[in-house]
Homo-oligomer: A and B are copies of this chain.
Amino acid sequence: MLHIMPQDLKQSMLPAIENEMEEIISQVDNHGYQQFHEMMAYHLGWVGEGAGPEARGKRFRPLLLLLSCAATGSGWEKALPAAAAVELLHNFSLIHDDIEDNSPLRRGRETVWKKWGIPQAINSGDAMLTLAHMAMLRLDKFVPPDILFQAVRLLQETCLRLTRGQYLDIDFEKRENVSIQEYWQMVEGKTAALISTCASLGALIGGAEPRTCQQYQDFGFYLGLAFQAQDDLLGIWGDSAITGKSNESDLICGKKTLPVLFGLSRNGEFAARWKLGNIQPSEVSQLAAMLESEGGLTFSQEETSRLTLLALEHLQQAIPQEPAKGILIEITNKLLKRTG
């Protein structure tokens, strides 16, 4: 592995991830079930209008898993079943989220429920969740039974934490008051649990000791929190939220994100307007400026930085090996520099 350039490593992982997922999803592609297969293949960005790399997202979670595995000094190929599993788990949650949030579009394409109706979308999400768990069992060719069971259990527990976070997220919508502490509890389940599991699963499959696995898990945990804090920030001050497409701002849909909760806790001009609801696209840039002047942007930036540093500290303590180490640090730092 010594002479592999970081970019080459990532570029060889990406097609291997797609290939592993395709094999798993193809289990559904039997006579009479082609359309059922198509729903999942469409969602994953492989077929249908707008299919291609843009429709697939960054495959951030499986990459993180494979890189964490490689960073322990092990070959990453044996972690492919787990990489496919976490990406399928993530995508199951997106299919169901889109129904729950009533979102007609994802990455510029119609969502599964919009194309095939809510009943088929619920059911194809259920199938994808099941395929995620099935994917994990394919590790049996590469790891001993005790590691296999730890991995299976970890994915299940993560999935339960996902549904807990989602419960809180849905519950927050109808509640008047949500504290920042409750917000973090929600994000721990909805975002950080899976990202944390990606890092620790990679280390576990790589053969790391429990203490090292824990460092990877903590790295992923803070990375996940930072990821969400930055996402929330971009939902108000990001390129597409602030310029032109103001209807994509989180301020429009009344989402209780980190900067909004900060603004509400200040109880100033921003809070007064936000609580009235029904925010129009024409008001978005003014309201974003108001929240910025009350400290909402600085607070969110500082939280993202603080959490990113915590993530990097835990990564360093895991003593990761090159070239994976460099890419993990790069991915983490990029978080702070995203603009959209």
Contacts and interface: CB of A to CB of B under 8 A. Distances in A.
A170 interface: yes
Interface residues of A, number: 46
Interface string A162-188: 111011101100000000001001000
Nearest to A122: B96
A134 B119 contact: no
B118 A27 contact: no
A128 to B, nearest CB: 9
A45 to B, nearest CB: 21
A96 B92 CA distance: 15
A185 B27 contact: no
Contact of A159 (B130, B140, B164): B130
Contacts of A152: 137, 152
A185 B137 contact: no
A100 interface: yes
A120 interface: yes
A127 B160 contact: yes
A166 B32 CA distance: 13
Contacts of A149: 137, 140, 145, 148
A133 B156 contact: yes
Contacts of A162: 126
A160 B131 contact: yes
A28 B123 CA distance: 23
Interface string A107-151: 000000000011110111111011101100100100001001100
A123 B140 contact: no
Given A140-B149, A152-B137, A160 B130 contact: yes
A313 interface: no
Given A122-B99, A149-B140, A153-B137, A27 B160 contact: yes
A306 B130 CA distance: 33
Contact of A160 (B28, B119, B148, B163): B28
A134 B122 contact: no
A35 interface: yes
Nearest to A189: B33
Contacts of A119: 99-101, 170
Interface of A: 27-28, 32-33, 35-36, 96, 99-101, 117-120, 122-127, 129-131, 133-134, 137, 140, 145, 148-149, 152-153, 156-157, 159-160, 162-164, 166-168, 170-171, 182, 185
**9 smallest beta-carbon distances between A and B, as pairs:** A100-B119, A127-B163, A36-B167, A130-B159, A145-B145, A119-B170, A123-B166, A134-B156, A130-B160
7 contacts: A32-B185, A33-B164, A100-B119, A123-B166, A126-B163, A127-B160, A134-B156
